[in-house]
Amino acid sequence: MKNNSLLEVPNINSKDAKLKKLIYDVEDSLFYGGNYSNEEFEHLCICSGGTTSSCAKNGFTTLDLRKNYSKIHLDRKTNLVTIGGGVIMGDLVNHLQKHNRSFPIGLSKLPGAGYVLTGGVSPLSRAYGLAIDNIESIKGFLGNGTFISLKKNQTNPEEQLIWEAIKGAAPFFSIITEIELKTIQSNPIKVIEGFVNLNELSEIIKLSEEFPENISLQWIYAQKIYIYIFAELNNLEDKITEEYLMLLDKFPALEKHFYENFNKINFFPRELNLYELKADNHSEVISLLGEDLKNDVPIFIKCLSEIIDNKPNNSCYIASQQLGGKTKKLNHGSSFFVHRKSTWKPWIYASWKKNDLQEKKVALEWIYKSWNKLKRFYPNIHLAQLHNHLNFHEEEITLAFGNRMNELKTLKNIFDPQGILPPL
């Protein structure tokens, strides 16, 4: 154990937090209840990629998995890759690319194992499922200190519920030190991207709801609207894909780019001037889930426009990514990502000058109000960030886990009875 008061991580809230203690190893002493349960509201924060506001908090202890759980190994016979619980997605895809393999990571290379364990929505998900759908086995510890090693289709009835809950709700009752994942062939990608106006966005959303599984739309509305249409080319003569992409020729500002593989793409260009990693700002983000907008596109666009008009400062934005296709299928087995019908995952992002409590209050109110406006289109939550430090945590987890909430509470009671891990 090492005493250190700060953690070097991408998320600025967490980077600024004054830690009580920093731990690098999952060892028995971690689970001696007295360490945590005596102090009200305290739990252990886990850090993998360090991209969220919950991996470090003032006065709390962080278990930093990045140092001792950072191995990546690709088995060339099975094409399964084993990663440590502290591996970031950029390192994973860089390793895989050497062998012409890839993995459906999200829009950023920075997130760590938290991306995989909370679901993992990728521009490739429509074709390959969520990240959790590609988990083959895991190793780790339950909040009561019990070591677990589980493999897909080889769990006994007692283990089956843990296995399902790890896929989507792991952070509440377990510390995962190793994950085995299926990999995919690395294929070239065509991206059509650029700035559009609200009318064009409306048209493009309509088109995208008819896209085949290898094409997905992601858009971001900060100062202006920027879109990415992402098409995986399984073969370079793919006529159907070309026909869909030709429908976008009528939008003059959009540019076509060809990338040899997924790794070469960097989403969110500098021109967007996003505040995500600005050192003077703290931020929060909440992710929603819902189905195709269909005839509601015009009224959604009106609502979006109102939300952006009301944003309290320039840092705030709304963005969205498209899922559906394979993510709707349950053939990977049941999981705690319960809203399988979802085809859109919008997220609401706000930040504020880090010491300005008034601006923080206004920014968080804007998130909450915007969420309420968007609920009619996107009633559910993707719990990609834990917000137990915010007022709306309870509402979020209820909308994230739906009819599996009681099972999750039971698992938490049995396997993390002392509340060592983040509270539900």
Ligand X SMILES: Cc1cc2nc3c(=O)[nH]c(=O)nc-3n(C[C@H](O)[C@H](O)[C@H](O)COP(=O)(O)OP(=O)(O)OC[C@H]3O[C@@H](n4cnc5c(N)ncnc54)[C@H](O)[C@@H]3O)c2cc1C
Q: Which is nearer to ligand X, 5 or 305 (CB)?
A: 5
CB of 379 to ligand X, least distance (A): 18
Q: Which of 162, 126, 121 is nearest to 141 (CA)?
A: 162
Q: Which is nearer to ligand X, 117 or 251 (CB)?
A: 117
Give the C-alpha distances (Å, rounded to integers) separating 59 from 4, 322, 383.
12, 38, 24
Q: Which is nearer to ligand X, 251 or 276 (CB)?
A: 276
Task: State whether the Cα torsion 161-423-32-413 is positive or negative.
Answer: negative
Q: Which of 181, 70, 75 is nearest to 122 (CA)?
A: 181
- Neighbouring CB atoms inside 10 A of 93's CB total 20
Work out the angle at residue 250's Cα, subtended by the Cα atoms of residues 247 and 256, and round it to the nearest 5 degrees. Answer: 75
CB of 58 to ligand X, least distance (A): 15
For 331, residues 6+ apart whose C-beta sits below 8 A from its C-beta are none
Contacts with ligand X, residue ranges (CB under 6 A): 45-52, 54-55, 65, 85, 106-108, 110-115, 117-121, 170-171, 174-176, 276, 321, 384-386, 422
**What's the burial of 85, exposed, middle or buried (CB within 10 Å: 0-12/13-18/19+)?**
buried
Cα separation of 222 and 319, whole Å?
A: 8
CB of 223 to ligand X, least distance (A): 18
CB of 415 to ligand X, least distance (A): 12
CB of 371 to ligand X, least distance (A): 17
Q: Which is nearer to ligand X, 211 or 228 (CB)?
A: 228
CB of 363 to ligand X, least distance (A): 17
Q: Which is nearer to ligand X, 241 or 321 (CB)?
A: 321
Q: Which is nearer to ligand X, 112 or 145 (CB)?
A: 112
